Structure 1
Amino acid sequence: MDELVERVDDQDRVLGAVVSRRQAIQEGWLHRVAATVCRDERGRILVHRRSEQLTRFPGLYEIVVGGAVDVGESYEEAASRELAEELGIHVLPRLLFTFLNRSGLSPHWLGVHEAVVPDAVVPDPDEVAWHSWLSEPELRSALLEWRFTPDSNEAFSRYLTFRSARS
């Protein structure tokens, strides 16, 4: 069963049309995706490699944990649900910003969150093949050497810009 999402416009306003995520991707219709940058108490960032059995970007690395915002969900609710599904943790991530993301399979609004999570996450092996905690310098090196999902670089770059603007 494919996920159901709400179509949104170029201002991230819900249009009232409910469609499958597959159809939204195929047609290039805007919809919402929630993603969370996970940090531990020492400030390291969780990086993971997607399972080979996933239909979207199998085996590629990611900086964020996330997925589609279901019908009627907020960005925060979707981000929290995805953290529970993929990492087995129950936290309420903080929405930092949204942007119209044109990288990846199709354009979508990406809500970028941040959460401080425990070191001991229990990833769902159907979703996550490998994970590790990297410092920002280690992550910058990995971005140059490993194959990341198309929106990982964009999301991380915007995340760092957001954080430095708040400092």
Structure 2
Amino acid sequence: MDELVDLYAEGDLDGRVIGTAPRSVVRRDNLPHAATQTVLWHNGSVYVHRRTETKDVYPGLHDVWAGGVVTAGEGIDASARRELLEELGVASAVRPLFRYWYADNRANYLAAVYEAEYSPADGAIRLQPEEVAEGWWMPWPDLVARLDDPSFGFTPDGREALRRYRAAGCGPFDPS
């Protein structure tokens, strides 16, 4: 079944919903919607994963952001928590950081950026096999160095989110 997705006023950082459309139409027509991006930290490292080859956007590329499309009627914060739990099996609290508008020829969305701290007490990370092919912890300095390498197959929206994350003075995770 094709889930419904809220449509947002393009460029509006406040998240004003202006309608809905089936996800397939949102993807086909690159309609403005909202998506969450949550980076997961543990002991100065971030969780890096490789997307499956069957993902509808940026298949097979690396990313650090657990997240996805905000569905119709779903709050943005609730979506961030849901996506972290679905993709990585982690129920950690998410901390909202900032929003920005991202658009390219494959995606057009209000990006809501979050971070979370992983605790082994939350249980093992469990990857959603439909979306995440593999994952591992990477020290923050190593990730920053890899991002400077244009041959590192990383999602373009994820690269942009990390650029903004660093520019905002975020990372490594500070729970305050």
TM over 0.5: yes
Matched, 1:93 2:94: yes
Pick the aligned partner of 2:165 from 155, 159, 166.
Answer: 159
1:13 and 2:19 are equivalent in the alignment: no
| CA positional deviation for 1:116 | 0.4
Structure 1 residues 57 and 123, CA gap change in structure 2 (3 angstroms): same
1:31 corresponds to: 33
Stretches of structure 2 lacking an aligned partner (at least 5 in a row) = none
**For 1:68, what is the secondary structure of its paired residue?**
coil
Pair 150,45 (structure 1): closer, same or farther in 2 beyond 3 Å: same
Contact 1:52-1:59 at 8 Å conserved across structures: yes
Q: CA RMSD in A?
A: 2.1
The Cα of 1:63 is off from its aligned counterpart by 1.6
CA offset at residue 27 of structure 1?
2.2
Question: How far apart in 1 are the matches of 2:166 and 2:69?
Answer: 23
Q: Return the offset for 1:76.
A: 1.2
Q: What are the superposed Cα offsets for residues 2-35 of structure 1, whole Å, 9 maximum, x if unpaired? A: 33111111313111x1101221232232110011
Shift of 1:104: 5.8
8 Å CA contact 1:93, 1:113 repeated in 2:
yes
Tell me, in whole angstroms, the C-alpha distance in 2 between the residues paired with 1:92 and 1:68. 19
- Cα contact 1:26–1:106 (8 A) shared by 2: no
Deviations 1:33-80 (A, max 9, x none): 01101101x121111001123232221101201010111222210011
- Contact persistence 1:75–1:95 (CA under 8 A): no
TM-score w.r.t. length of structure 2: 0.85
1:116-135 mapped onto 2 (5 Å cutoff): 116-118=117-119, 120-135=124-139
Q: TM-score, normalised to structure 1's length?
A: 0.89
Q: Deviations over 1:95-142 (max 9, x none)?
A: 111111013612110101000013531112222111111112210222
Report which stretch shifted further, 4-13 or 108-117. Answer: 4-13
Mapped to 2, the partners of 1:99 and 1:28 lie a distance apart of 17
Percent of matched pairs sharing the same residue = 34
Maintained 8 Å contact 2:30/2:105: no
For structure 1, which segment, 105-114 or 134-143, has the greater mean C-alpha deviation from structure 2 after superposition?
134-143
Matched letter for residue 154 of structure 2: F
Residues paired across the two proteins, number = 165
